[in-house]
Chain A
Amino acid sequence: MQVDEATVRRIARLARIKITDEEAQELQKELTGILNWVEQLNEVDTSNVEPMTRVVPISLKMRKDEVTDGNIADDIVRNAPNSDDHFFVVPKVVE
């Protein structure tokens, strides 16, 4: 498996991480190395194996559908880099 530079850029875009040309080339090598290394899993016959979904066989609990929390808008925005009157402020999205 050889990851090309275009793939690295596509993945970085999907992950919303800006990368420089230099980083793209380095990542191309590193990702290829890691993906080649994990390829050894293909040696394992998993044809009749279910994927693992949980480590402990417990069924998830249900709770009542009711409000148990709220009125903490101050707490929610207090760490925001930019907020105004309990709104998060972001660059203009719609012209």
Chain B
Amino acid sequence: MTDLTKLTLAEAREGLKAKTFTAKELTQAFLDSIEAANPALNAYVATTAERALAQAAESDARIARGDARPLEGLPLGIKDLFCTRDVHSQACSHILDGFKPAYESTVTQNLWDAGAIMLGKLNMDEFAMGSSNETSYYGPVTSPWRRKDGSNAQLVPGGSSGGSAAAVAADLCLAATATDTGGSIRQPAALTGTVGIKPTYGRCSRWGIVAFASSLDQAGPIAKTVRDAAIMLKVMASHDPKDSTSVDAPVPDYEAEVGQSVKGLRVGVPKEYRLDGMASEVDELWQKGIAWLKDAGATIHEISLPHTKYALPAYYIVAPAEASSNLARYDGVRYGLRVPGDDLIDMYERTRAEGFGKEVRRRILIGTYVLSAGYYDAYYLKAQKVRSLIKRDFDEAWDKVDVILTPTTPSPAFALGEKSGDPIEMYLQDIFTVTVNMAGLPGISIPSGLSSQGTPLGLQLIGKPFDEGTLFRAGQVIEEAAGRFPVPERWWLKS
């Protein structure tokens, strides 16, 4: 039998429908591959084999009686940020030790209602704060990719959805859920040769997703192809009365957009994204992307987004401020870790000192500082005003273009430990992605080429609010032109 784990989500869906294999066989193939790969890659922090096989049995029964749902029998990985009933849900933080929620996030409930199977919970940067998956309490994820120089240096898969991206790239699930606050879906997708889409703010419910920065957080899928991402997002997205920021608008059939023509589509290329010191191979790839879309009938227009350079510093005020407030709930009283102290305050302080990792502590302190008495106007209010200007830049661009093309990241994957010295150096990973969160827009990263080191690079498409359909349409054009980028060698099976 062919290796079932190499199938795309769409191919697996067809195979199950045609009864070429069963959901049980498919699920077991993934469970076996996780067992073989996880010691080397550390993509999963918990697996749910028993539950997966029970779900698979139900799927097989439904398929047999012709009662299959949209994702029937398709095994997925779930980022540890999503609360899943009675299953490990700890945002990969020490402070949530042992937490097993009594409820299910809306996004994951939508997936199970559609017949999908849960393989387990995926590693991530602690509370989604990081761009390399190195801040996880459960240790870093190692990318399935290696440089072709033979050095065998362990590369990061990106972050914060590093486990999601690595698991999809290494065929440890058909697709995965992820979340994106400043680039946490798109950057890891770019570094691992996978497709990742952050939909418009409000498209997916945030209910049951551990909160980081509530005005920026949004869930989306990481998948092997543009079509697979479209299939996933259709099910993940919904209006939810439990999240007042989720939007009450019908979810379009995104898959129907895949393969549609981009003839006449106006593509914007923002001049502010051409950075000094950007790797030349990144710029070359960008030019290729422009050519691919042009060849497919799109028209190319240079545009200006003048406040681009201020998005990242504004983000590092807004996101830590919201995080310091959201993370106030971890106090050693209601759930998770408690470290005993002399009195109540001492218990809080010891619990939070031990329970939060270094990056999370740093961001809580920055957030506390910028919100503290006397500083609110100078920092938080100023940043929210700059955010209005960033959004205005995009609003003006939409008069001239339908979609914007940029690189996803300034460089290919770096090695573990390479950027752990200066926090700002790590923050710069999100320079091309963070504007999209600040303006609440949808953005997709499509694998588009390989670096001189043989590791993946991605291109990002940014769309108008709720115009994910155009991203899938244009994304498919890039995918067809660039080809797909499967991991060349399963080196982790040899060691």
Contacts and interface: CB of A to CB of B under 8 A. Distances in A.
Contact of B334 (A35, A88, A92): A88
Given A17-B352, A72-B102, A11 B372 contact: yes
Nearest to B388: A52
Interface stretch (B42-50, B157-165, B363-371): B363-371
Interface stretch (B4-12, B273-281, B306-314): B306-314
B88 interface: no
A11 B362 CA distance: 11
Contacts of B328: 16
B382 A46 contact: yes
Nearest to A13: B349
A80 B388 contact: no
Contacts of B342: 91
Contact-residue size bin, chain B (C-beta under 8 Å from the other chain): 35 or more
Given A53-B384, A58-B202, A78-B102, A27 B338 contact: no
A63 B100 CA distance: 30
Contacts of B353: 17-19
Interface string B353-392: 1001000011011101100100000010111111111010
Nearest to A34: B366
A70 interface: no
A83 B290 CA distance: 60
Given A38-B379, A72-B102, A79-B100, A17 B349 contact: yes
B354 to A, nearest CB: 8
Q: Is the interface of A mostly helix, strand, loop or mixed?
A: loop
A46 B386 contact: yes
Nearest to B371: A14
B362 A58 contact: no
A15 B362 contact: no
Interface stretch (B104-112, B222-230, B241-249, B412-420): B241-249
Contact of B247 (A8, A15, A56, A91): A56
A30 B362 contact: yes
Contact of A16 (B310, B349, B372): B349
A38 B356 contact: no
A50 interface: yes
B99 interface: yes
Interface in A36-95: 37-38, 40-44, 46, 49-56, 58, 60-61, 63, 72, 75-76, 78-82, 88, 90-93
Given A44-B307, A61-B241, 5 more contacts: A30-B423, A56-B245, A79-B102, A81-B333, A88-B334
Interface of A: 3, 7-8, 11-19, 27, 30-31, 33-35, 37-38, 40-44, 46, 49-56, 58, 60-61, 63, 72, 75-76, 78-82, 88, 90-93
22 contacts: A3-B369, A16-B345, A31-B369, A33-B423, A34-B424, A37-B316, A37-B424, A38-B379, A41-B310, A41-B317, A46-B385, A46-B386, A49-B385, A51-B381, A51-B388, A52-B387, A52-B391, A61-B241, A80-B335, A81-B333, A91-B340, A92-B344
Q: Which 9 A-B pairs have the closest CB atoms?
A: A55-B440, A51-B384, A79-B335, A75-B102, A81-B338, A46-B385, A18-B349, A18-B353, A52-B387
